[in-house]
Amino acid sequence: MIGEFELQKNDSILVAGAGGFIGGSLVAHLRKQGYTNLRAVDRKPISDWYQVFDGVDNHVLDLKELVSCVKATSAIEHVFNLAADMGGMGFIETHKAECMLSVLINTHLLIAAKETGVKRFFYSSSACVYNADKQLNTDVTALKEEDAYPAQPEDGYGWEKLFSERMCRHFREDYGLQTRIARFHNVYGPNGTYDGGREKAPAAICRKIIEAKTSGDLSIEIWGDGEQTRSFMYIDDCIKGILKIAESDFVEPINLGSSELVSINQLVDIVEKIADIKVKRNYNLNAPKGVRGRNSDNTLILETFGWEPNIKLSDGLALTYAWIADQIESGKHLA
């Protein structure tokens, strides 16, 4: 179900959350592909953005405020909303209110988009919207889009994402704003957070093993018993999927994630092989762990686009490990 719409190289495009991992990677891709009218917005000082590019209209704005959203969307045709207060499980389990306040970003961006005449609006949702009762086992049945209801999402972050999905739907139905929604499943890769408390499992494990190898203390802490399962999507697949979904006529929320299910212990196995070391695993059973198992059912995205995220975890982790190792050796930190 792919329509005829296609972004044009001179279309005006806003990337909200451009100072973050996925937003910055999207700006990098669009710029590389020859898009010339890009606006990048984030609330962090530009010096703290993960990636910054010349020839892009860069702004520091707090998109929780409606006036900032109106300024950001002025003279813009297409919005990619990747802005949110979020991080790995250690962050979202301990900052539920902060995560839920991101509802102001999407709500005000939608209001501003309606007022300023935006044509298309892409919203980055999350697999955290899915019903927790369907994620109690490590051998989890892959989650289909309809498994978001009856609603029992991740407390805080998941509820905000699910509510914002509904806002997108109703702005499309009531006002004709063409909204598109992807549910991300654990995105990782270079130019992402790897320390400071907001990092996700792939980056955290890479960092821990790099530090263990460097220090000679070959032991690392693992949150939980290591048997919890997830799928992890490499950033290049994420960017490709974002653009496919944004340019399509498919209007319902759709999974965007790898279907390659692994346990955290298996994730450690892969990074050990990349690093060519073995580490002692110290399991912290009191640490934040999230759901017991989560995987992406890609039936719908395959039927719709004839494509799914397909970069192997071992290949993506090798690139991620090398980048983090270089950052640590250079004394850089992306918190």
Pairing between β-strand 57-60 and β-strand 229-231 as defined by DSSP bridges: unpaired
From residue 43, alpha-carbon distances to 63, 123, 166, 219 in Å are 7, 18, 25, 37
N-to-C CA span, the chain: 39
Task: Indicate if the alpha-carbon torsion angle 144, 149, 154, 160 is positive or negative.
Answer: positive
Task: Kindly state the DSSP code that residue 141 receives in the 8-state scheme.
Answer: P
79 pairs with which residues across the strands? 14, 121
Whether 35 sits among the annotated catalytic residues: the reply is no
CA–CA gap between residue 285 and residue 228 (Å, rounded)? 12
Name, in order, each residue with C-beta under 8 angstroms of 176's C-beta and a sequence gap of 6 or more: none
CA 283 centroid distance within chain: 26
CA–CA gap between residue 75 and residue 39 (Å, rounded)? 10
CA–CA gap between residue 317 and residue 200 (Å, rounded)? 13
Catalytic residue (choose from 123, 157, 188, 194) = 157
User: Which residues carry out catalysis?
Assistant: 157
